[in-house]
Amino acid sequence: MYALVDCNNFYVSCERVFNPNLQGQPVAILSNNDGCVISRSDEAKALKLPMGAPIFKWEAFCKAHNIAVLSSNYPLYGDMSNRVMSILRQFTPDVEVYSIDEAFLQFKGFQYYDFNDYGTQMRRRILKWTGIPTCVGMAPTKALSKVANKIARKFPNETNGVYVINSEAKRIKALKWLKIEDVWGIGYRLAKRLTAKGCKTAYDFTQLPDSWVFKNLSIKELRLKKDLEGIASIQLDEVTNKKAIATTRSFDYTYDNLDYIKERIATFAASCAEKLRKQQSSCYMILVTLSSDRHKKTAVQHRGSQTIHLACPTNSTLVISKEAVKAVTRIFRKGVKYKRAGVVVMGLVPNDNYQLQLFAHENPKHKPLMRAIDGLNNKYRDNKVKLGNQDLEQTWKMRQERLSPKYTTNINDIIKITC
Partner 1 sequence: MLAKENSINLTFFLPDTSSSEGAVFFDSGISAGFPSPADDFKEERLSLDRELIKNKEATFFARVSGQSMIGAGLDDNDLLVIDRSLEPEDGKIAVCFLDGEFTVKRLSVTANGLWLLPENDRYSPIQITEENEFVIWGVVTNVIKKL
Instruction: Please report, as ranges, the residues that interact with partner 1 according to CB under 8 A.
Output: 20-21, 83, 86-87, 125, 128-131, 407-408, 411, 414-419
Residue closer to partner 1 by CB (options 111, 418) is 418
CA dihedral of residues 126, 130, 133, 134 (deg, nearest 10): -40
Tell me the C-alpha distance between 267 and 262, whole Å: 9
Residue closer to partner 1 by CB (options 281, 408) is 408
3-class DSSP state of 275: helix
Tell me the C-alpha distance between 29 and 400, whole Å: 11
Residue 32 beta carbon to partner 1: minimum distance, rounded to whole angstroms: 26
Residue 282 beta carbon to partner 1: minimum distance, rounded to whole angstroms: 32
Residue 83 beta carbon to partner 1: minimum distance, rounded to whole angstroms: 5
Tell me the C-alpha distance between 35 and 400, whole Å: 10
Residue closer to partner 1 by CB (options 15, 221) is 15
Residue 88 beta carbon to partner 1: minimum distance, rounded to whole angstroms: 10
Residue 26 beta carbon to partner 1: minimum distance, rounded to whole angstroms: 17
Residue closer to partner 1 by CB (options 23, 235) is 23
Taking a C-beta distance cutoff of 8 angstroms, is the pair 151, 159 a contact?
yes
Tell me the C-alpha distance between 307 and 331, whole Å: 11
Taking a C-beta distance cutoff of 8 angstroms, is the pair 385, 320 a contact?
no
How many other C-beta atoms are found inside a 10 Å radius of the C-beta of residue 411? Answer: 6
Residue closer to partner 1 by CB (options 184, 407) is 407
Residue closer to partner 1 by CB (options 128, 334) is 128
Backbone angles phi, psi at 125, to 5 degrees: -65, -45
Residue 288: which H helix or E strand, with range? strand 281-292
- Three-state secondary structure along 66-93? CCEEECCCHHHHHHHHHHHHHHHCCCCC
DSSP states of 299-333: SPP-EEEEEEEEEEEE--HHHHHHHHHHHHHHH--
Residue 323 beta carbon to partner 1: minimum distance, rounded to whole angstroms: 40
Residue 96 beta carbon to partner 1: minimum distance, rounded to whole angstroms: 19
Residue 19 beta carbon to partner 1: minimum distance, rounded to whole angstroms: 9
Residue closer to partner 1 by CB (options 129, 155) is 129
CA dihedral of residues 384, 388, 394, 398 (deg, nearest 10): -90
What residue type is assigned to position 377 of the chain? N
Residue 124 beta carbon to partner 1: minimum distance, rounded to whole angstroms: 11
Q: In 20-33, which positions are buried (b, 16+ CB within 10 angstroms) versus exposed (e)?
A: eebeeebbbbbbbb
Q: Are strands 94-99 and 162-164 parallel, antiparallel or unpaired?
A: unpaired
Residue closer to partner 1 by CB (options 129, 396) is 129
Residue closer to partner 1 by CB (options 392, 415) is 415
Residue 93 beta carbon to partner 1: minimum distance, rounded to whole angstroms: 16
Tell me the C-alpha distance between 137 and 119, whole Å: 8
Residue 177: which H helix or E strand, with range? helix 168-177
3-class DSSP state of 102: strand
Taking a C-beta distance cutoff of 8 angstroms, is the pair 162, 119 a contact?
yes
Residue closer to partner 1 by CB (options 24, 350) is 24
Residue 416 beta carbon to partner 1: minimum distance, rounded to whole angstroms: 5
Residue closer to partner 1 by CB (options 24, 50) is 24
